[in-house]
Amino acid sequence: MKKINIASLLLLVFLSACGESESKVDSALTEQVLYFGNGTEPKDLDPHTVTGVPESHILMALLEGLVMRHPEGLDPLPAVAESWTISEDGKTYIFTLRENAIWSNGDQVTASDFVWAWERMLTPSLGSKYPDMLYDVVNAEEFNKGIIKDFSKVGVKSLGTKILSVRLKNPAPYFLGLLAHYTTRPVHRPTIEKFGEIDTIGSKWTRPGNFVGNGPFTLEDWQLNKVLKVKKNPLYWDADKVRLNGIHFFPVDNATREDLMFRNGQLHVTSTVPLEKIEVYSKQYPDLIHIDPYFGTYYLRVNVKKAPFDNKLVRKALSLSINRKEIVEKVAKGGQIPAFSFTPPDPNSYFPPTTLEYDPVLAQSLLKEAGVSQEKLPAFEYLYNTSEGHQKLAQAFQQMWKQNLNIDVELANTDWKVYLSRQNIGDYTIARAGWIGDYPDPKTFLDMMVSDRGNNQTGWSNYEYDNLLIKAAQSPSQEERFKHFYKAEQILMDELPIIPIYTYTRVYMLNQDVKGWSPNLLDSHPYQFVYLER
């Protein structure tokens, strides 16, 4: 056995010298299989316990929620729900589910599937990471926090096999947007109960052969750190429209390797592009490289509990002395847009206040006004997790602060977990951070800075800000909500516990054979619209 292996190893050198005439991408044209570079290996495929972007790409193929995102914009499209009505006060939703929505094993997708799935997601002992996605539902938060034990008190009911009613505690115009998120999708109750309890984490129900879904694709094969394959689901209600026969998700967490795979014709779409290559490819392969706007913000957290950063003038000075334009054009170089607000400007017509600017002279005078001079300001630390991109930015900030304010910053990189835990316990002065919106609404950003929220982590707390967010939640109209958000954001940008740097872009390579792939803010590309053609 071993001998054969070694002999074949040597033999193969010569055999393969002949070279493959056809790359995988070429043969995919007839097979209609999409080769997808998917970043890191997914943790699991349980929509209620995972949190990552790679998982979301796979779950979009395997499970379908009440609504889905429009491939070009962000308006929700009917998915499992054929239609819905919203009461006048905006608090009651009645969904009518499709008659032909069925699970991949032939069972009907029913309203009670959703009720049970949401019960599971909100069950405290499951430890779901995204329960707050449903906190707008009456009593959902109380149930999730263990205050209410009886799920029938939560505002989600089955009014018949195919009719689902949802009651919200306040009008939430973004609620339909939330329902496109994977964590609100249904799961197949008999399968989960076959392999464990309602709150069992990591049972075998997510394995190929066991997994029962209702999405356009079904799970075919899952080889850890190698490939995850899905194939077309013939029982999907809209199966006629699905043109891909399958998708192979490759966990490629190394940008250089992913680039080589793409160039070698092994991938149709990549998850990223190596930093150094963005500029080169933009000139060399303008048709292949895609730089799409993305609903995310790169920002700095400032620990406001630490003097002198408890003084907002000092924080302002830090922000004023960062030349965002130069950062974006000369350092990040990925087509990012300088950010002057926490919430990225979004097409739903919310345009946040833009008052941040580059003004080193003003910065210096603010610092003077705050009574901070270089002698009084001991060298402080800038915390970032190790990565080439973060390091470049960190060095650029360091130089800008040195030149414009004459203050010294020590850069401190750590591994990911240390970086997270130090922010969590407030053991940092300034740290880089990034946030990608979960749903297309300013709330996904602004809610984070409410006092004592898990991801606030700056120690910043502002009564008026908190109040504005509550008012926004209770507003009946979108217009009024945005007004409150606008005011809240003004406070945030005046206080600057976080300093926005730029709005993210999604930079990736896409083979030109891929059709029906439209850029959008949330980087969501429903596969039923995608096909391969040359």
Partner 1 sequence: MISLILRRLGTAIPVLLAVITLTFVMVHSAPGGPFDEEKAVSPEVLVKLNERYNLNEPLVVQYFDYLGNVLQGDFGPSFRYPSRSVTELISIGLPITFELALYAILFALMLGIIAGVISSLRPNTAYDYVPMTIAMAGICIPSIVLGPSLTLIFGIQLNWLPVTGWGDIPGDKVLPTITLGTAYAAYCARLTRGGMLEILNQDFIRTARAKGLSEFRVVVVHALRGGLTPVIAFLGPAMAGLLAGSFVVETIFGIPGLGRFYVEAAFNRDYTMILGTSIFFSCLIISFNLLSDLVAASLNPKLRDQ
Partner 2 sequence: MNTAESSLAKKAFDRLVSNKLSLFGGIYVLLLIVLAIFTPLIAPYDYAYQDLNLGPSGPSAEHLLGTDTLGRDLLTRMMYGSRISLMVGFLATMVALVIGVLWGTIAGFAGGRTDAVMMRIVDVLYGIPFIILIILLMVIFGRNLVLLFMAIGAVEWLTMSRIVRSQVMSLSQQEFVLSAEAMGVSKKDIISRHLIPNAIGPVIVYATLTVPQIMLLEAFLSFLGLGVQAPMSSWGLLIRDGAVSMEEYWWLLIFPSLAFSLTLFSLNFIGDGLRDALDPRTGPN
| Site residues, partner 1 (CB under 8 A) | 2, 5-6, 9, 12-13, 15-17, 19-20, 41, 43-44, 46, 49, 51, 124-132, 144-146, 201-204, 206-207, 223-226, 250, 252-254, 256-257, 260-261, 263-264, 266, 415-422, 424, 454-455, 457
| In the complex, least distance from residue 74 CB atom to partner 1, rounded to whole angstroms | 21
Task: Candidates 42-50, 212-220, 404-412, 470-478: pick the segment binding partner 2 (CB under 8 A).
Answer: 404-412
The answer to whether the bond into 216 is cis (omega within 30° of 0) is no
Task: Candidates 13-21, 47-55, 178-186, 325-333: pick the segment binding partner 2 (CB under 8 A).
Answer: 325-333
Distance CA 336, CA 507 (A): 10
Across 379-429, the runs of DSSP E, i.e. the strands, are 380-385, 409-414
Q: Does 108 bind partner 2 (CB under 8 A)?
A: no
Mark residues 238-267: x for contact with partner 2 by CB under 8 A, - for none.
------------------x-----------
Distance CA 43, CA 238 (A): 29
| In the complex, least distance from residue 382 CB atom to partner 1, rounded to whole angstroms | 18
Choose the contact partner of 394 out of partner 1, partner 2, none; CB within 5 to 8 A by kind.
partner 2
| In the complex, least distance from residue 335 CB atom to partner 2, rounded to whole angstroms | 16
Q: Does 282 bind partner 2 (CB under 8 A)?
A: no
| In the complex, least distance from residue 273 CB atom to partner 1, rounded to whole angstroms | 16
Task: Candidates 108-116, 203-211, 239-247, 387-395: pick the segment binding partner 2 (CB under 8 A).
Answer: 387-395
* Neighbour-count burial of 13, counting CB atoms closer than 10 A to its CB (0-12 exposed, 13-18 middle, 19+ buried): exposed
| In the complex, least distance from residue 55 CB atom to partner 1, rounded to whole angstroms | 12
Distance CA 488, CA 495 (A): 11
Q: Does 418 bind partner 2 (CB under 8 A)?
A: yes
User: What 8-state DSSP symbol labels residue 230?
Assistant: E
Cβ proximity to partner 1, 98 vs 129, nearer residue? 129
Distance CA 475, CA 481 (A): 6
Cβ proximity to partner 1, 21 vs 30, nearer residue? 21
DSSP states of 161-175: TTEEEEEBSS--TTH
Q: Does 421 bind partner 2 (CB under 8 A)?
A: no
Q: How far apart are the first and last CA of the chain?
A: 43
Task: Candidates 98-106, 180-188, 286-294, 395-403: pick the segment binding partner 2 (CB under 8 A).
Answer: 395-403
Mark residues 199-218: x for contact with partner 2 by CB under 8 A, - for none.
--------------------
Cβ proximity to partner 2, 345 vs 389, nearer residue? 389
Cβ proximity to partner 1, 8 vs 406, nearer residue? 8
Are residues 446 and 485 in contact, defined by beta-carbon separation less than 8 angstroms? yes
Q: Does 431 bind partner 2 (CB under 8 A)?
A: no
Cβ proximity to partner 1, 378 vs 454, nearer residue? 454
Q: Does 283 bind partner 2 (CB under 8 A)?
A: no
Distance CA 522, CA 268 (A): 20
| In the complex, least distance from residue 326 CB atom to partner 2, rounded to whole angstroms | 6
Q: Does 377 bind partner 2 (CB under 8 A)?
A: no
Q: Does 331 bind partner 2 (CB under 8 A)?
A: yes
Choose the contact partner of 395 out of partner 2, partner 1, none; CB within 5 to 8 A by kind.
partner 2
Choose the contact partner of 410 out of partner 2, partner 1, none; CB within 5 to 8 A by kind.
partner 2
230's tokens: 């899905």
Beta bridge mates, 108: 102
Q: Are strands 76-78 and 67-69 parallel, antiparallel or unpaired?
A: antiparallel
Return the exposure string of 215-245: e unless at least 16 CB atoms fall within 10 Å of the residue's CB, then b: bbbbbbebeeeeebbbbbbeebbeeeebbbb
Distance CA 186, CA 527 (A): 19
Choose the contact partner of 221 out of partner 2, partner 1, none; CB within 5 to 8 A by kind.
none
* Neighbour-count burial of 293, counting CB atoms closer than 10 A to its CB (0-12 exposed, 13-18 middle, 19+ buried): buried
Return the exposure string of 192-201: e unless at least 16 CB atoms fall within 10 Å of the residue's CB, then b: beeeeeeebe
Return the exposure string of 373-401: e unless at least 16 CB atoms fall within 10 Å of the residue's CB, then b: eeeebeebebbbbeeebbebbbebbbebb
Beta bridge mates, 510: 269
- State residue 525 phi and psi, 5-degree precision: -130, 85
Choose the contact partner of 422 out of partner 2, partner 1, none; CB within 5 to 8 A by kind.
partner 1
Choose the contact partner of 1 out of partner 2, partner 1, none; CB within 5 to 8 A by kind.
none
Q: Does 406 bind partner 2 (CB under 8 A)?
A: no
Are residues 164 and 156 in contact, defined by beta-carbon separation less than 8 angstroms? yes
Cβ proximity to partner 2, 152 vs 406, nearer residue? 406
Choose the contact partner of 126 out of partner 2, partner 1, none; CB within 5 to 8 A by kind.
partner 1
Distance CA 180, CA 69 (A): 6
DSSP states of 85-129: EE-TTS-EEEEEE-TT-B-TTS-B--HHHHHHHHHHHH-GGG--S
| Interacting residues toward partner 2 by CB under 8 A | 256, 274-277, 280, 326, 330-331, 386, 388, 391-392, 394-396, 398-399, 410-415, 418
